[in-house]
Structure 1
Amino acid sequence: MSIGARLKEERERMGMTQEKFSSACGVRRRAQSTYETGDRSPDSLYLAAASRIGVDVGYVLTGQRQGAKRRVPMDLDDFGRAAAAVLGISEQQLLIATETLTSKMDGYGIALDLLNDSDGSNGAYWGIFELELRAVVKALIQEAISGLGDPDSELLGKVLESVDGVIAERGTQLSSNKKAAAVVMLYRAFKASGRVDPATVEEAVTLASA
């Protein structure tokens, strides 16, 4: 079986038309057709894009299947909320970003509920989803950072150190989200003076742990 035939096999395994597959890989449908017929050979940029959306590029090139990659389940909800709090990203901004991502996936003809299938057939969908998710998150973070101006990393470090000190001294348990919210609030309060007030830090930790 030729490279083009194996490429076609992978596309069909993923349940994608030539038009949608070529769009995801950054080429025109006509180019995709010539790759599959063997009239042209795909370049490295195309293969890298194909790999990102879940194509077994090793199989396409060599005819040998790679072993299935095991995904490590991770609960990143708390981390995501903490990061959003640190960057000052609002719920409304997160909602708009979610709608943008949903719209992008709709453009591929992929419903987000397909990502919840557990039969192992959604690897290609995950590849596209993760690619688009990174683009949306990058834009969201860049927007948030541009609104912060030039952050004072030294002051931020002192605030974080002070908050950690109070938490350790009291033996307080704070979720990542609450800790991040407290640090952001204190940083903004101290930014004008550039000095950390211990009493205010203790009060903030008390409020966060309530």
Structure 2
Amino acid sequence: MRDDAKAQASIRQTEGSLQTSVGTASCWLREPDGNDVNDIATWLADPGINQWFDFGQGRQTLPVLAVQLMMQGGRHRLRVFGATGNPLASGLVAVSDLTHAFGTGSFWVLRDSRRPACRNMTLLASTAILREAFEIGRLHCITAWAVDCNVRSRRLLERIGFRMIGMQRDCHVMQGSRCGRVLYDLLPGDLPNGFHSAAGGP
């Protein structure tokens, strides 16, 4: 990922998948199916990945059954993404804890660095699901957080348009050490191209 201008993607609906392309690189984005469940659970069983997460009550892994329930329920919007020309998913973007009464949700993302990638892939997939959450899900504010030492995730959130709103100190544990979480939020107008929801405003 180099600069935001290269992330102005054209997105079109084709056969149930969102195809996202930019320049000469492209990626696909779609709803996860039964074949993706094990991949997602395996990713979240990897300490190198799950150390950055908190799924409530200190849980940092999600078993297959929990992933299936997330896919079937209405409180989570999950999408897998990958490089065009390769059917294997390379990562997952999600907006969870959807509260439609208030129009809020929480964004998170993971990518398997061992799978194929293309330029700006994670940025494009993240922007696409957030646009979808604002436009189709009618959300008004989406929050996110990153462990304070996770420079890559913090840069990604800031490139997407998330704004830092605070710091929760001494609240996360990684490899026996305590650290903080940087807190962010995003409104529809914060996305590239000045996107606004179909509901008309933030």
The TM-score, its normalising length taken from structure 1, stands at 0.25
Report the structure, 1 or 2, having the larger helix content: 1
Identify the structure with bigger relative contact order (alpha carbons < 8 Å, sequence gap 6+). 1
